[in-house]
Homo-oligomer: A and B are copies of this chain.
């Protein structure tokens, strides 16, 4: 049941995400194309555009796609970034901040809601550069927005697939958010009625008195403490019944001394 509901959810948000193409520019290692495809597919994206990949198709790409090879097969190939972006209304360049570039800069979260909105109007591109040198200033200037992943200033080097994973994850979160489905599966447990909780606490206090647990401690304060602990977990009716079962069993054993030792030859 979970599965069918999830599937429906996946399909419902797919059309929006599917309008967004990931554009990989001059990728050196075919394995990185594969792992980027995998990352994209886990987040429900479908479109890859490859600009002058060094080696493609390639067994490493297929191997690292590990199941996302449909995205590789459907990927379009282009000789230039201009060609790859020709039909897109908006393009976002994923890059570290760069001197001399004055594009509007978005963080991944701002990017995601912005790009989703644009994707309702038509094709949108997110552009990732070569693994070693990134995007050139010229390439960045083909885009309208710069997306910067706010990484550790002392160690900012996400690999290509990791950057794809982060941005597509944000797109998916934004899409889920917009269909109002981001909410995690609601906790199906119903808290036990308070009257049952009260009977359980009364029972607990009786048993604690009977086993002389309170001693010199204040029963009122100790019960308040136990009450807070158990209430924080919002037990459901079944759980309250289990606790009462334990209390009853303690009483039974105290009423029938020695039963706990019946089969217990060790101690």
Contact = CB atoms under 8 A, between A and B. Distances in A.
Interface of A: 2-3, 6-7, 9-10, 35, 38-39, 41-44, 66-68, 97, 99, 102, 104-110, 148-159, 161-162, 165-166, 169, 172-173, 176, 182, 184-185, 187, 189, 208, 210-213, 222, 225-226, 229-235, 239, 242, 245-246, 249-250, 252-254, 257-260, 264
A249 to B, nearest CB: 5
Name the residue in A35, A165, A242 with the highest tally of chain B Cβ atoms < 10 Å from its Cβ: A165
A10 B173 contact: no
Contact of A254 (B10, B109, B184, B260): B260
Copies in the complex: 2
Given A44-B151, A211-B250, 13 more contacts: A3-B153, A38-B159, A39-B162, A106-B184, A107-B182, A108-B173, A162-B165, A210-B260, A211-B249, A212-B253, A231-B233, A232-B234, A257-B258
A-B interface, 9 closest residue pairs, ranked by CB to CB distance from nearest? A257-B257, A232-B233, A6-B153, A233-B233, A44-B152, A10-B153, A42-B151, A162-B165, A213-B249
A265 to B, nearest CB: 13
Contacts of A257: 254, 257-258
Given A102-B189, A233-B233, A157 B66 contact: yes
Contacts of A149: 169
A229 B44 CA distance: 35
B225 A242 contact: yes
Contact of A105 (B7, B185, B249): B185
Contacts of A97: 2, 185
Given A156-B42, A157-B42, A208-B246, A182 B232 contact: no
Given A2-B97, A42-B162, A97-B2, A155 B185 contact: no
Contacts of A66: 157, 159
A226 B233 CA distance: 11
Contacts of A106: 184
